[in-house]
Structure 1
């Protein structure tokens, strides 16, 4: 049992929607580092293949409110950037329609300045630095190790993967994906529905729907053992 778990009192009950790797990761974080007790997983009936996950029941999303009281249980939809975040958004809205409140998680090991505004249904991993006057919309995922610069805005339904630098006074539109190690310069507006590939550098504002594809580094003509003069 970790120090985090030892110090955290469980006062709320949570259902995680999803059964992917993100759902497993979300369960670990909520369990170890939040006031939530995870009591079940849920997926849509068409995708219900297992009755149990991590020792907890997996139940049909369509019948969720008949199994668990919406007044005493909250929902987190642990779905990544599928369909430019539309799937996570749709399931979250459906859960609200069923009467459930949406949960958020902010790691105790993230640095989030006191006047940062965070919407509902957000997941902020460890080692994120979120500077003063930042505004984060609803249904946003900040995977580990990002820098969100002062006065910047992250629109709803975005997925920011690891080690992304978003500089100050930026405005990221809704439904965007930003890949690992991407960098966005100061005062840049990212249009909605942008896909920004890993290691991309964005120096000027983008139009809605822009797709930035990253090329893989070229393989050198000489092999690594030959370059290092290995003789074994």
Structure 2
């Protein structure tokens, strides 16, 4: 019999968590919960949505776990605060490791951490609690990733350190032996070649619109 799981949140990430836990885990997703001021519906994905204040007073800790599915708001601090509250309220926090991820057997998956499909994680990697590793992320040998981190389809070179509460955006690259400070925001396609300090922001290159309209080339075959 599968253990029951409630997901904290009803946003896009909560919807993704519902899909992953439903299709590729030993849990049965039984419902969702949010703080009472944000309770705007009584059901989501065909399951009940319960105010957390009610949920924590009635839920049996021995029968149900929680996964906090909040995004990167305030550079992951909002999710971290809720994770701390849920743990203090006596709930066990679930984690997710996709069966389609390529992960070394020595990896320890901590509470409220999610590792999605097609992630490639080499040996001797350490990943902290409440961290999200999105699909197609590559993490090389001996990388150290802190807690409350979010990495989205990026490449992280070997022996790199990524500090707590940092965000690494889509297709970003962090070179080997680099130390990324805590609370960093590394944008999509950014390339980090040197150590960073805490609370820094790095932006990747941005594309600009061509002066030529696509109407002028729509009849030109792109493949000959």
Distance 1:22 1:32 in 2: 15
- Counterpart of 2:94 (choices 89, 96, 103) is 103
- Counterpart of 2:23 (choices 29, 32, 40) is 32
Deviations 1:67-126 (A, max 9, x none): 311121100001111111111111111111111000000000001101123322101110
Deviations 1:23-78 (A, max 9, x none): 11111111111110111100000100001111111011122122311121100001
Residue 95 of structure 2 contacts residue 109 of structure 2 at CA under 8 Å; is this kept in 1?
no
What TM-score results when the alignment is normalised by the length of structure 1?
0.91
Distance 1:53 1:149 in 2: 38
Specify the alignment match of 1:87 in structure 2: 78
Superposed, 1:196-207 pairs within 5 Å as 196-207=186-197
- Counterpart of 2:67 (choices 73, 76, 85) is 76
Specify the alignment match of 1:53 in structure 2: 44
Gaps of 5+ in 1: 1-9
What TM-score results when the alignment is normalised by the length of structure 2?
0.95
Specify the alignment match of 1:18 in structure 2: 9
Distance 1:215 1:148 in 2: 22
Residue 9 of structure 2 contacts residue 32 of structure 2 at CA under 8 Å; is this kept in 1?
yes
Deviations 1:127-175 (A, max 9, x none): 000000000000000111100010001100001112x000100000000
For residue 209 of structure 1, give the secondary structure of its aligned residue in structure 2: coil
Residue 190 of structure 2 contacts residue 205 of structure 2 at CA under 8 Å; is this kept in 1?
no
For residue 57 of structure 2, give the secondary structure of its aligned residue in structure 1: helix
Superposed, 1:107-186 pairs within 5 Å as 107-162=98-153, 164-186=154-176
Gaps of 5+ in 2: none
Cα offset, 1:11, TM superposition: 2.3
Distance 1:63 1:94 in 2: 14
Residue 84 of structure 1 contacts residue 175 of structure 1 at CA under 8 Å; is this kept in 2?
yes
Specify the alignment match of 1:194 in structure 2: 184
Distance 2:137 2:145 in 1: 13
Q: How many residues align?
A: 221
